[in-house]
Amino acid sequence: MSEETTLIKRGILITMDGRRRVIHGGHLLIIGDRIATVSKSEEEARGGMTPDNVIDAKGHLVLPGLINCHLHLPQTLMRGLVDDVDAMTKLKYFTWPIQGHFTREEAEISTLVTLLELIKTGTTTFLSTGLHPRYDIDNMIRWVERSGLRAVISKYVMYMPHDATEKGALHPGMLEDKEESLSEFKRLYNEWHGKGDGRISIWISPRSVGACSPSLLKEVSRLAEERGVGIH
């Protein structure tokens, strides 16, 4: 079975190549999941092929997908909750208590809203951290897989209920002990890393310096190196 081909024609191509070229009235041929040709000439872009799909992008920008390097899938539902206090007050007295009571259904809805927003804004890759087992992380990742987006899911690990210098800042509903959080990272890695045709990666996230002991940070480093994943 031959790979599907798509021609995007007459667009303003923001190539982001080494020369930062912008091609007005440009044409772009996609074969399978790869850009095969970028050209000012439609004939050259087609390369003698009759594409399966043709998109007329006249008057539109055609650019690489955007990348969101840090978001929290559960927190989209909390946007605008309180914007007139400092960050720690917002987290300690509003965001974390709400997340500490979040249900699986609420986490699922927040995930879906986030994925739709990412797609609508042209974001094709994102990293999400701040995920607690109470949300049913597997269910959230299943939706990510269905979305077609590329994602890094970075699992929090922690040792103490602190955040930076704030002692006991985290809501009880957000707490995990050291072994639980490390075990959950390993399980998610084993079950999901590389899934979705390689679009899904599982990384590891120290909750904060204040929530991790030196020994836990060393363990995070060892696990990341051992599995060849990033630390967020």
pLDDT in tens, 172-188: 888 888 899 999 999 99
pLDDT recorded at residue 164 = 60
**Can you tell me which residue has the tokens 């800042």?**
169
DSSP SS3 for 21: coil
Q: Which two tokens stand for residue 8?
A: 């995007």
Rounded CA-CA distance 114/76 in Å is 6
Residues of the chain with pLDDT > 70, as a percent, come to 97
Cα of first residue to Cα of last residue in the chain, in angstroms, is 40
Band (pLDDT 50/70/90 cuts) for residue 165 is low
DSSP SS3 for 23: strand
pLDDT recorded at residue 57 = 97
Rounded CA-CA distance 15/64 in Å is 7
DSSP SS3 for 52: coil
pLDDT recorded at residue 169 = 78
Q: Are 170 and 156 within 8 A, CB to CB?
A: no
Is the pLDDT assigned to residue 36 strictly greater than 90? yes
Angle at 32 between CA 29 and CA 38, to 5 degrees: 20
Is the pLDDT assigned to residue 225 strictly greater than 70? yes
pLDDT recorded at residue 163 = 65
Is the pLDDT assigned to residue 153 strictly greater than 80? yes
Q: What is the mean pLDDT of the chain?
A: 92
pLDDT recorded at residue 108 = 97
Q: Helix 214-227 to helix 178-192 angle, to the nearest 10 degrees?
A: 10
